[in-house]
Amino acid sequence: MSTNNIMRALSSGGAPRVLTRNTLRRVIERVNPMDGRATNTIAESLVGVKALHKVADDVFLNYLVKPLPSPAEALRLVVPGAYLSLHMVLGQCGVLNNPSNLYTCVRPSTSSAPEGEILLVGRRFATNNPAPLFHVYALKPNIPNGDKLDDHIDGKFSYPRATPERAFCDWLYLAKNDVKALGAEPPLDCDMHQLDMDRLCRVASHLGVSDELECWLERHREYLLDVGNASNTSEALGF
C-alpha cells in the first residue's frame, strides 16, 4: 500500500480542503478501491508526514492544497452550528490591540449546552501545545435570517464567521451574563474606527446589550481623553 497516489489526489485541483474520515475513504477508494478498508491506517500515515492535520477525531485539514486551509474552515464539522467570533474576529480585523491566537467561537445554547457552557475541542498543530484549538461559548440570542443576516454573519468567508460588530456584542453579552472563563468586557483600548457604529447598535439591540454598549462607549471616550491628555503632558515635558 503506497500513499503517493493518494497524496497526488489530495494535492490535485479541486481536492477537498477539509476532510472527514468518510471523505478521505472516498478519495482513497477512487485511487484504489481495495485500500478503502485501510483508511484509518492511511490517515495516520498522512498525518505522520504532515500531509493532513487531525483537527478532531474524524476531521482533517488537507495540507497538500494551496493556500493552506485555516482551522476555522473545519469548525462547521467539528462543532455544527458554531461560528468564529469574539477575540479571534476582533483581533484579525484590527479592533483589538493584543490579538489572541485562540479560535474563539459561539454556538447556540441548547438543553444539552446551556448558556454560558464552554466547549474546549480540537487539536493544535504544535505537539508540545496541548491546549484545545477551539474555545466555544454557548449563547442564547440567535442569528436572524433574511435581510438582517449581514449584520451578524460575514459573508466574505467560506466558513461561519461573525461580523466584527456581532463579535463585539457577543463579548458584551457573555460579560453581562458573567461567563467567568471569558473575563471582563472588551478592553478600552479597542480601535472602534474599524466598526460600523450603526450596525453595532443594531446588533446590540438584537442581543439586548444596548445599555451595556452605551456604558462601554462612554468609558471608552473617557479613556481616549485620558490617553490624549497624558500624551500632551509628555510632549510638553519633552518626553
Please state the length of the chain: 239
State which amino acid sits at residue 77.
L
**Cα(153)–Cα(164) distance, integer angstroms:** 9
**Cα(201)–Cα(172) distance, integer angstroms:** 12
pLDDT, tens digit, 9 for 90 and up, residues 82-120: 999 999 999 999 999 888 888 999 998 888 888 878 899
pLDDT, tens digit, 9 for 90 and up, residues 9-21: 999 988 999 999 9
Judged by DSSP in three states, 56 sits in: strand
Q: What pLDDT is attached to residue 155? A: 94
Residue 237 has pLDDT above 70, yes or no: no
Q: What pLDDT is attached to residue 113? A: 83
Q: Where are the domains of the chain?
A: 4-69, 72-186
Please work out, in degrees rounded to the nearest 5, the angle formed at the alpha carbon of residue 233 by the alpha carbons of 231 and 237: 115
pLDDT, average across residues 48-61: 93
pLDDT, tens digit, 9 for 90 and up, residues 122-181: 887 765 666 788 999 998 888 887 778 999 999 999 999 999 999 999 999 999 887 766
Is 0.85 topped by the overall pTM? yes
**Cα(102)–Cα(92) distance, integer angstroms:** 11
Going by pLDDT thresholds of 50, 70 and 90, the confidence category of residue 194 is: very high
**Cα(105)–Cα(89) distance, integer angstroms:** 9
